[in-house]
Structure 1
Amino acid sequence: MTTTPTDRGVGPLLRAWREQRRVSQLELALRADSSARHISFIETGRSRPSEEMVLRLAEHLEVPVRERNALLLAAGYAPRYSETPLDDPAMDAVRAGMERLIQGYEPYPAIVVDAMYHVQAANRGILMLLDGIPEHLLAPPLNAMRLTLHPEGLAPRIRNLREWRGHLLAQMERQIALHRSEPLRELYEEVAAYPVPEEDRSAEPAEPVPYFALPLLIEHEGRTLSFISSISTFNTPMDVTVAELAIETLLPADPATVKYLQSLLP
Structure 2
Amino acid sequence: MNVSLGLFLLGFYFVLESSECRPSSPCLYPPAQWCRSAEKCGVQKHCFEQKADGLNQTDSPVEVALYYESLCPGCRQFLVLQLYPTLLMLHDIMAVSLVPFGNAQESGQKPPYTFTCQHGEDECLGNMIEACIMNLTQFSFPIIYCMESSEDVIKSAQVCFQLYESKVDWNTVMTCVKGDLGNQLMHANALMTQALNPPHQYVPWVTINGEHTDDLEQKATSSLFMLVCSLYKGAKPAACTGAAKKVDRSYL
TM range (shorter): under 0.3
TM-score (structure 2 length as normaliser): 0.25
Q: Under a length normalisation based on structure 1, what TM-score does the superposition of the two structures give?
A: 0.24
- More helix per residue: 2
Higher-RCO chain (CA-CA 8 Å, sequence separation at least 6) = 2
**Which protein shows a greater Rg?**
1
